[in-house]
Amino acid sequence: MTDSSDDCFQIAAKLIQESHHAIVFTGAGISTPSGIPDFRSPGTGLWQKSDPMLFASLTAFRYHPDRFFRWLKPLLQASKQAVPNPAHLAISRLEQLGRVKSVITQNIDNLHQKAGSGYVIELHGSMEQFHCPSCQKPASDPAGIIEEIISGQIPYCTHCGTIMKPDITLYEEPLPMKAWQQASDEVSRADLMFVIGSSLEVIPASSLPYDTYRNGGRIIILNYSPTFMDKHADVVIHEDAAEVLPGIVELISDLEN
């Protein structure tokens, strides 16, 4: 069902309210209202402006760190200034109501945690943490490293002098094994997945909604653009998550009372 009517919101709220193990899957679209640029929107997406293999790949980090950190700098600036928007806060509220068990996110901006979500699985890592790829020591002062990068410097390990790497999954890298296993475990338990702000174009993360559907779980999709999962979803809403999601949470609260 694709609609933006009140009936559609009511159905979504009822599905969530009746679920036993609902999980949320989020992409860049949930954070754009907070000022975090997404990657694929026509005209504004980051990959519309630059080739990810030249800037955001493991090769770029290893052999062209100046280029890599020049790409990372505006993302860190945006993330530092960003605050959770009503969609992040609504998901946190659903968790507090006991209606959402976990949040699986493709985002690296830490906004779910800032909004108060307790169990967040970061499939692509976090750009607020760093480690040394040589001696494997984590950064003792990640906030200081962020300030270095924003000021135009390249951060080096204080132990061995190697360039520090942000804990994000770059092109040419596999997803973190622990996060992938946690996400897979949640999908195996889920009777409903609420996909919010993801075009579902990035693999292997985009396979998780289909796995939920294949396991018999219901699917709700809230995203501006169509996705390959729309035909399998019980509800599809092509609107702004920050505007729609708080209303759905209110409907759920009404159903609970």
Active site residues: 124
Judge contact between 193 and 25, C-beta under 8 A. yes
CB 120 within 8 A of CB 112: yes
Dihedral pair phi/psi, residue 105, rounded to 5°: -125, 145
Q: Are strands 102-105 and 22-26 parallel, antiparallel or unpaired?
A: parallel
Round to whole Å and give the CA distance between 186 and 217. Answer: 12
**Residues contacting 23, CB < 8 A, separation 6+:** 100, 101, 102, 103, 104, 186, 187, 189, 190, 192, 193, 194, 212
The side-by-side arrangement of strands in the sheet containing 235-237 is 120-122, 102-105, 22-26, 192-196, 218-222, 235-237
> Tokens at residue 236, please?
């599809």
Strands (E) across the chain are located at 22-26, 102-105, 120-122, 125-131, 165-168, 192-196, 218-222, 235-237
